[in-house]
Amino acid sequence: MKIEKSKRIKDLPPYLFARIDQIKSEQIAQGREVIDLTIGDPDLPTPEGIISQMKEAVGEAKNHRYPPYAGILPLREAVAEWYWKRFQVKLNPETEVLILIGSKEGIAHLPLAFIDEGDYGLVPDPGYPVYKTSILFAGGIPYLMPLRKENNFLPDLSQIPQDIAQKTKLMFLNYPNNPTSAVSSKEFFETAVNFCQENQILLCHDAAYSEIYFDGYKPMSFLQVEGAKEVGIEFHSFSKTFNMTGWRLGFAVGNAEIIAGLGKIKTNIDSGVFSAVQEAGIVALKSNLGVTETLRKIYQERRDLLCSGLKKIGLNFKPPLATFYVWAEVPPGFTSLEFTAHLLNQTGVLATPGNGFGSFGEGFVRFSLTEATEKIKKAVDRMSKVLF
Ligand code: PLP
């Protein structure tokens, strides 16, 4: 029998990091030591207190049954408490907090709740690839908002044509930003909230990196802006803040109707996160400050190391104030892909070509700081011996 895939997946390029994994395997098969600075997947272990809570919770029979669809109430309460402490944003844990199987899952499902065939969704370019595909999967049309260096990698909302804005149902934003590591000002969030209010657009802000920050900078939640909760929701993740990428735990907070819409999709698709993982998540949120402070110091040391190396080889970039990524311009004469291939061949260092995050990422390359400090030292050492 001929297996015919849907147009939805036939037209889709392979997921960026799946392709990078393949390149890495080919290099390793040739006997090369690859220093992989591509994916943002923390190398450090999940803190011990979270693990021991998980071990205990696994043994409890009540946790072996289906969890409540919206997540266990004590975790939703812990999220609301954390939001209040961290951002001074008040949330109703019953209606304004939804537990997700990682924020990727929530982002991927959200457009199914609000996009009809032919509706537009605004997507940053370069950006986390899931924004665009989630809109396509829902039958919508992604409209790309370029993130340009000259605009500090913030989209210029005044450039969105009025007829597009009128046909748009939702907009994704992400600050601190992956892949550019840019941060948003309060003014930009205010502009975005006003724009969405005027055009009846749902604002979906992805704050997965809000806890990875340096040099005294501290990211805000877009929900701190007046009127934000009327137009939008914010996605968060345990993955980056607590080294928990493998656990699959995230949450969405904000506008109760949007939360309910996403919740309705999820009740038809999944049955939530293992309650033991959710109980461990409570411990994570309650212990947050100590854990992430230590993490930030480690990333800051790595950032300084890598940035000094990239400077030596003459790359142009701004050291990040947040996220664990360095977004650098490729040297003149190279495309993103050519530079990445050259770097890999010459040094064994694997970085992500910027155009993998969208066409406006062309001319850039992204380095991740989620590799051991010793490996980053080695990468810097190898790069400093090569001329570009
Ligand atoms: N949002 C952004 C911007 C990301 O970079 C990532 C992961 O890399 C995610 C969301 C997904 O995180 P998770 O599904 O692990 O919560």
Q: pLDDT digit string (tens) for 181-221?
A: 999 999 999 999 999 999 999 999 999 999 999 999 999 99
The model's pLDDT over 15-43, given as tens digits with 9 standing for 90+, comes to 677 777 777 888 888 888 999 999 899 99
CA 40 / ligand 1 centre spacing (Å): 9
Fold designation for 48-288: Aspartate Aminotransferase; domain 2 (3.40.640)
- Does the Cβ of 40 fall within 6 Å of ligand 1? yes
For the Cβ of 255 lying below 6 angstroms from any atom of ligand 1, the answer is no
Q: Is the CB of 219 under 6 A from ligand 1?
A: no
Could you state, in order of their start, the residue ranges of all structural domains in the chain? Answer: 7-45+290-384, 48-288
pTM of the model: 0.96
Of 16, 17, 98, 103, the one to substitute when testing ligand 1's pocket (max ligand atoms within 8 A of C-beta) is 103
Q: Whose alpha carbon is nearest atom 1 of ligand 1?
A: 208
Ligand 1 atom, smallest distance to 236 CA: 16
pLDDT of residue 19: 72
What 8-state DSSP symbol labels residue 181? -
Q: Per the CATH hierarchy, to which homologous superfamily does domain 7-45+290-384 belong?
A: Aspartate Aminotransferase, domain 1 (3.90.1150.10)
Tens digits of residue pLDDT in 220-242: 999 999 999 999 999 999 999 99
pLDDT at 15: 67
The stretches in the chain having pLDDT less than 50 are: none
| CA–CA separation, 116 and 112 (whole Å) | 8
**So what's the pLDDT on residue 288?**
65
Provide the pairing of β-strand 250-254 with 325-329. Answer: unpaired
Q: How far is the CA of 350 from the centre of ligand 1 (A)?
A: 20
Is residue 172 within 6 Å of ligand 1 at its C-beta?
Answer: no
- DSSP codes of every residue in 13-45: PPPHHHHHHHHHHHHHHTT---EE--S----SP
Residue 319 structure tokens = 């050291």
- Whole-number Å distance, alpha carbon 99 to ligand 1 midpoint, is 15
Quote the pLDDT of residue 388: 64
Task: Give the CA distances from residue 185 to residues 1, 214, 317, in Å, rounded to whole numbers and listed in that order.
Answer: 56, 16, 20
